[in-house]
Structure 1
């Protein structure tokens, strides 16, 4: 079985790890390294995490825990936008994929499976009621702030500081996007159909084809600016245009269920250009 799979994926692929009946191939690890960096230490962390997660996902599937595609698509859409924003745009993302011998769609499919596994894992842990396993980043930060004086720095480690410079679009690009989202909002105010307008104007390719539907999201799933707006809306209420680092949004909450909301959006992205990337790099060189 393993021999046939190796032949199927290419003579030079190799098995990185085994988790139950599943195997992790080098090509798959290469794809995920695009998101997390390519250092050997990082690759080992990713590999170990994937093996542990695969085993828990198997347990979740045995207990018939399900994750709907719409849940995955909602997170996938926003996280793909985050990735493009971090790299500096669509062109750089495509170039990074070419370097690894994959297409953007193949990378998206891999990320779809990764997010599905994350959601399965979370639902499984919630069902098993192990609160000590569900530690949020906020709780980690609060614990560290309370005990940082008594936490020793391990030998062989360093305290690292860095300055992060985000690639900023031009004022002209921001103004054009703000004007476009205002025009779309005006069409909605006149009785326009949200799904139709999303399909026509939204720059989010994954929710656009579904009439803007992001799926059901929970606190902590998306960027804070987006969540602050959608969790303040009532079912059936449409937001005014608002801005995040991805662009300008109009959101509608379709339903609320405890700590989650079913939401759709229209996104007008503020696109960066190669000139914006060059300008940011020049600024970094002067620091």
Structure 2
């Protein structure tokens, strides 16, 4: 429960400042003041208020949070940001500006206009308002990068996982909800050479515009289909260990500073890359992703082919597994007979009520073991594909078992070890960092030694 609470507070902090404007308007404002200082960063009384508001807006029970707990988490966030600066962790202005554009769009939707947002936050104009939130976003990104740095090298062994499990009292073992195992067959529409060449030609046109003086980032905002980097103007910082596809890294590491690649293809579509800077072993780059789009005729054929195959399976002319091996166009699951695994854990079991893929949930939630979903259109990156899913097994709710629920136990054990590493780092870093806590919070029972005998 404590772990869940901490993760909840950190999630709230990740969007701190971009709170539900309408919710704030109905909340009585407190007189603002500095309640804590960490290095060069301050925590305001209003920061705590805003975190409460955001928790309510996202559906959390705020009765579980005390002001002391929220202050402690805010202080941690400031410590991460402060140390990120000391460790020369870089967050570029372009990254922050891209993130801000998306967040401000959401705020305008809530408030009705940008003028309403600026007025509510008591800023003189849009420029002052944007500067205010730029600082908030940059601080949060620095904190996030620092936490990633602290946990990236934390590993856990099978023996540590076993000890973690054995140390849980048997009457306190977590319950695992109803689980399900699944297999899939995927059909993708054919994309013609002409459709592919049209994308290559467009990327070459964009590349030439940039060579003639246009901003790469501005082209990203107009053309890229990579939603993960849209907010940062296509920016990535990678090294040779970064988990990008081989074709992307091969091109990136062949470029010189300032050079723009010619269009090239990966499984995600066609790209161009601009290498901005080489920093040690890291490449700081921007990219644009565009994919060729299939015709309606091709879409219709893919759906019909999968409908026909589904009928053959139902008529027992071919097994689902054999059909997947012969016809599925999803390379990750094809050779295993269509068996779907969790990409992060490698587990074949999915807890039904925690499925993040809502399309998949709607396809399988009412199926019995052995039944097959209807042919369903699903996203394929920036394109469309068709899928059928078979439920191969169902496991009722049960107390966590080491053998059967190893991957879930491993995930919790690793997260616990990561949290312990961060807690140890916080304890050591506090000793060498200037900390000041307002008198109002001197009686708080903080998890970390923020008071330092003040």
Which of 265, 274, 287 matches 1:252?
274
- Is 2:233 the partner of 1:193? no
- Is 2:363 the partner of 1:283? yes
| Corresponding residue number in structure 1 for 2:289 | 267
- Assess, with a 3 A threshold, how the Cα gap between structure 1 residues 63 and 237 changes in structure 2: closer, same or farther: closer
Alignment of 1:191-230 (within 5 A): 191=208, 193=210, 195=214, 198=219, 201-203=223-225, 213-215=233-235, 217-219=237-239, 224-225=244-245, 228=249
TM-score of the superposed pair, with normalisation by structure 1: 0.51
CA distance in 1, matches of 2:83, 2:266: 41
- Is 2:136 the partner of 1:113? yes
8 Å CA contact retained: 1:71, 1:216: no
Which of 11, 19, 43 matches 1:22?
43
| 1:134 partner SS | helix
- Offset from partner CA, 1:114-151 (integer Å, 9 cap, x none): 4543326756x99xxxxxx8231xx43x3144521121
| Corresponding residue number in structure 2 for 1:53 | 77
CA distance in 2, matches of 1:218, 1:231: 9
- Assess, with a 3 A threshold, how the Cα gap between structure 1 residues 104 and 252 changes in structure 2: closer, same or farther: farther
Give the number of the structure with larger relative contact order, counting CA–CA contacts within 8 Å between residues 6 or more apart.
2
Please report the RMSD computed on the Cα atoms of aligned residues, expressed in angstroms. Answer: 5.9
CA distance in 1, matches of 2:358, 2:75: 39
CA distance in 2, matches of 1:26, 1:164: 43
The structural deviation recorded for 1:270 is: 9.3
Which consecutive residues of structure 2, in runs of 5 or more, have no partner in the other structure?
1-23, 118-129, 294-356, 368-390, 392-454
CA distance in 2, matches of 1:149, 1:10: 50
- Assess, with a 3 A threshold, how the Cα gap between structure 1 residues 104 and 159 changes in structure 2: closer, same or farther: farther
Which of 150, 164, 180 matches 2:163?
150
| 1:234 partner SS | coil
CA distance in 2, matches of 1:268, 1:164: 34
TM-score of the superposed pair, with normalisation by structure 2: 0.36
8 Å CA contact retained: 1:241, 1:248: yes
The structure with more helix, counted as a fraction of residues: 1
Which consecutive residues of structure 1, in runs of 5 or more, have no partner in the other structure?
1-8, 84-92, 127-132, 272-276
The structural deviation recorded for 1:217 is: 1.8
- Is 2:35 the partner of 1:12? no
- Assess, with a 3 A threshold, how the Cα gap between structure 1 residues 233 and 115 changes in structure 2: closer, same or farther: farther
CA distance in 1, matches of 2:56, 2:249: 31
The structural deviation recorded for 1:242 is: 2.8
